[in-house]
DNA sequence: ATTGAAAGAGTCTCAGT
DNA sequence: ACTGAGACTCTTTCAAT
């Protein structure tokens, strides 16, 4: 069950705004949403206490820092019971920025960010294949990112 | 080529810190990195001008708002030349938060965030299959997110 | 719950080094 | 290029509604 029942339209408007730009001031956001800065403040405090929102992150263009190579990796495990022990090993590899357990052909699915193909090869061959329990992997190199955006959260219909 | 040559160790330390927590004050970050708040400020301004960093986003736990269903979707296109027209249609579907062009079996790869399986079915069946040029799709539903983290950017070795 | 104003904290600018 | 201090803006608190 969700805590959605305790959030109203104003909360969702604040969330959608701050999800895309957390630098907007309470005064400016309040003006947009026709309430005072104080109201924005108490709502944000409430949403933080409900763990719906938590901190902010700076957007970084890692491409400009030389990280030009994103790949997705599907993992076949020898046994499903090896999930946790393999996940623990994968977490040690800094180039892996995300791990999901999924349905379908693969047991696990990774997102990997590297500087170049050479580094990706090192991660796949030297690091991944070394982990006990991984049967084989399938790699999809991202040629280009079409788009990436935040979800727009809406009320239940 | 990257603009990496114009960034030093201090820049990277600032980036790594603010990528994870953009709310830290310049004074506090300066203390950690043994420089003044003013220096943090000019470095951040420089990084913004270089387009390496750009704005901040609030972290939102969309699960608590009822968005409990993440899926990855591989797309087979009838012809590769249909990339752009199909991408344009996909961008109109708000549940699709990310699109990548990739190597391998699929032409495109999507990340979709929905409230439940019923909404995912609607997106896949009613929206996706309706788009001209999509031959077929393959869906991987995320059962659980193992982890998700920001990349740690480092100097060239 | 929301407001408006005062107190506190952070950002931004700039002259000096 | 970095620092420290002053000006400015934003967050936070709170009494009143």
Separation CA A104–CA A125 (nearest Å) = 24
CA A60 to C1' C16, in angstroms, rounded, equals 34
Does the pLDDT at position A4 exceed 60? Answer: no
Residues of B in contact with A91 (CB under 8 A): 146-147
- A3/B156 Cβ within 8 A: no
pLDDT of residue A3: 60
pLDDT by residue (tens digit) across A86-111? 999 999 999 999 999 999 999 999 99
How many CB pairs (< 8 A) connect A and B?
Answer: 225
- B4/A90 Cβ within 8 A: no
A98: left (phi over 0), alpha (psi -120 to 50) or beta: beta
State which residue has its Cα closest to the C1' atom of C13. B38
Task: Summarize the confidence of residues B126-149 as an average pLDDT.
Answer: 97
Three-class SS state of A152: coil
Instruction: Calculate helix-pair angle for A37-49, A9-20, nearest 10 degrees.
Output: 90
Does the pLDDT at position B4 exceed 80? Answer: no
For residue A88, with 0-12 CB atoms within 10 Å meaning exposed, 13-18 middle and 19 or more buried, which class applies?
exposed
Residues B102, A68 contacting (CB under 8 angstroms)? no
CA A123 to C1' D14, in angstroms, rounded, equals 56
Separation CA A83–CA A88 (nearest Å) = 9
Count the residues in chain A.
Answer: 157
Angle at alpha carbon of residue A96, lines to B6 and A94, rounded to 5°:
60
pLDDT tier at B1 (50, 70, 90 boundaries)?
Answer: very low
pLDDT of residue B116: 97
- B58/A22 Cβ within 8 A: yes
pLDDT by residue (tens digit) across A142-157? 999 999 999 999 987 6
Residues A153, B67 contacting (CB under 8 angstroms)? yes
pLDDT by residue (tens digit) across B33-72? 999 999 999 999 999 999 999 999 999 999 999 999 999 9
Does the pLDDT at position A139 exceed 80? Answer: yes
CA B38 to C1' C16, in angstroms, rounded, equals 14
Domains of chain A: 9-49 (1.10.10.10), 62-141 (3.30.70.920)
pLDDT of residue B145: 97
Q: Which residues, 6+ apart, have CB-to-CB distance to A10 below 8 Å?
A: A33, A35, A39, A43
Separation CA A45–CA A32 (nearest Å) = 19
Does the pLDDT at position B157 exceed 80? Answer: no
What pTM was estimated for this model as a whole? 0.95
Name the least confident of A25-29, B2-6, B41-45.
B2-6
Closest nt to A29 (CA→C1')? D10
């Amino acid at each position: 069950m969700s805590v959605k029942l305790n959030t109203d339209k104003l909360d969702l408007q604040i969330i959608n705004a701050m999800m895309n730009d957390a630098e907007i001031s309470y005064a400016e956001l309040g003006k947009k949403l026709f309430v005072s800065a104080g109201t924005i403040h108490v709502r944000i405090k409430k949403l933080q206490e409900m763990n719906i929102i938590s901190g902010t992150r700076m957007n970084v263009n890692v491409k400009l820092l030389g990280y030009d190579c994103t790949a997705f990796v599907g993992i076949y495990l020898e046994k499903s019971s090896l999930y946790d022990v393999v996940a623990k090993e994968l977490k040690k590899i800094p180039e892996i920025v995300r791990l999901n357990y999924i349905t379908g052909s693969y047991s696990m699915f990774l997102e990997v960010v590297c500087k170049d193909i050479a580094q990706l090869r090192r991660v796949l061959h030297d690091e991944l294949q070394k982990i006990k329990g991984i049967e084989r992997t399938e790699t999809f190199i991202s040629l280009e990112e079409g788009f990436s955006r935040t979800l727009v959260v809406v009320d239940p219909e």
